Structure 1
Amino acid sequence: MKSRNKALKEHLAELRARAITAKTPADIDKATEAITSFSKQQKYQFNHTFAIMALAFAGLMAILSYWSQMDLTYEDRMWLRVAAGVSAIGAIAVIWMRYSTVKKAGDLLYVRAVAIQAGIVRDYEYNGKEYWRQLKALFPLFKCGDEGQSITKRYLGGVDTTPFTLFEFKYVDVSTSTSTDSNGTTRTTESKTTKYKYGVLVQFTDFNYLSLNTKRFQARWDSASRAFNKLFKVRALTEMHAAKFFEPKVVLEFTDKFNFVKSLDVTGDSVACIELPKQVFPSEVRKPKLQETTRYLEGIDKPASIPILELTKELVQFINQNK
């Protein structure tokens, strides 16, 4: 008979595999059936008996190291404290990693359910570094960072007949600072900050003549709306191109409905890169806990929507109708 911990580990591995390969609501249903069946046998909690015993033993060693009636040398007491600290940290780490394993499996499956409902499919068949190099040659958005540049996640989707790719771009900024102490010794310290950008790449047709908040084109154009001008800096192939696209109704829609857009850039082949807030990603939705199985199953049956992504789809449709 399998131990409780072994059975849970195998089940979580199954859920992770199902989450990675799921492409349809039916695939999610099969995963929820597995959760329902497993939850009838045991809870989504590891047996922490040995970890708790290690914590108790660490506490005992700590007490003994301070107990004055114990005939111990100073070195012995220090070794007891070190052993107690190592045992306690190890036990806590085991408990935390086990909890994290359950959470990650549940989150992965739920995020996949959210993505499927949103009409996008996670794509693993690409090289993140090479894909970044390709995009860097097309869009200034990807020309940042000192190291670690890569497209770490991407989803494929579409609006009507217009395909798009949802991306997460990671890069690392490296900065150095120097300081001199009272002895005249100069030290250089290096710090690294990991950053992310999010957006969609959209394959339009005949939409290659204007940009927002980027400098691809030379001709500048201002709307009569101050609110719009604060949000967007328009550059176009010519002022006439911009004026023709940004009719009053279009300006109003961008100001009131599509004001979440950070930038929009296009290539000569009508491939657009639209930078968006990170909330456009499925992983940013609030996730139910797998440990609370009943609520989790209710949540995954009707997964959360992604408002920014739905608005982005409307933006793609809107551009197609007005370009």
Structure 2
Amino acid sequence: MPPRSMESPFSTRPGARRDHRIPLHLQGSGRWGDRGRFRAGRLLISIPLLFLLGGCTKKDTLHTLDRVQLRDTVAAEATLQVDSGRGWIAQPGALTAVDTAGRTVARVPLALKGTPRVLWRAGGRWYLRADGATAVVDSAGKALGTRRSDAPLARDPRGVWVYTATRNGSVMGLAPESLVPRWGWPDAGSPVSAIAVSPLGDRVYVALAGSEAHDVPAAIEVRDALSGRLLSTFGTGAAARVLVAGPDGTLYAVVGGSVRALRHGPDGLRQRWSKDFGGIGHSDPDAVRVSPDGGKVAVVAYGRELHLLAAGDGKVLEESKRAPRDAAWDAAGRLWVLGAREIRIVR
């Protein structure tokens, strides 16, 4: 048997078998400086990147007045409504109200599948969306009406109707106590992506997603609430996913990753400002919450981030990327921000 070669595996002699692994006792030594500098360089590059990514997920500049600790972790899809100093949290199987001390002070059982999303509360009734359907329940949780549709809905501030639309773009008026259809306008030739009603209840804003088949562009139609007559049209370029009418008459539209503030002019709607939240490190908005006085706007991306804007110019005042579930304003103009284990009350 020939003798085993004593050639070092790290020999540089031509033809020798080479092993490029760094010996443990030489790692970090000067002999391997080039390789060490390369690895250190990669580390130095990675540190700022990790800092930026990590910092973005935890950034928080909200001026917190109070924190309400919750006994249990709320569902990721939970939503929030506020009334009389209580925060109502919608979770699977129930609506639960907590006071500012975190105590459960009321509970409304719900016979709905999944996690319900609160749309609004009016006339002692809750309007909820869950499992592809919309339901109205009384203060005890009894179902008063259900509509098997995920079409957009809007509340009539006068309490006369609940507005919705068909897939072909026909706006309908539903009875608020049962969600039974009572009337409808002619088809617009395009699906409706969002709907809202003016503070006085005299105008209905209808966001058309657009239809190439019917040559209908994406736009917001302004219609007379009484007759359905088209008053004006504002082109959006893409479907508006959210429409919210503020108390001062400003209409807020979410188009893609941007929030646009629109005001009425002599010839219809005009854009007052636009704020973009899309791109790397940001999430497209899911909801817009306007303060009672119309002075501030909370833009929420569910479970990801929240931005508090000045309604006049869209300037970002405060923000948080600590995965807010939802947010809602109270009558005093304070913003309640729902987190996984707490509610923060922001001035």
Q: Which has the higher contact order (CA 8 A, sep 6+)?
A: 1
TM-score normalised by the chain length of structure 2:
0.25
TM-score normalised by the chain length of structure 1:
0.26
| Higher fraction of helix | 1
| Higher fraction of strand | 2
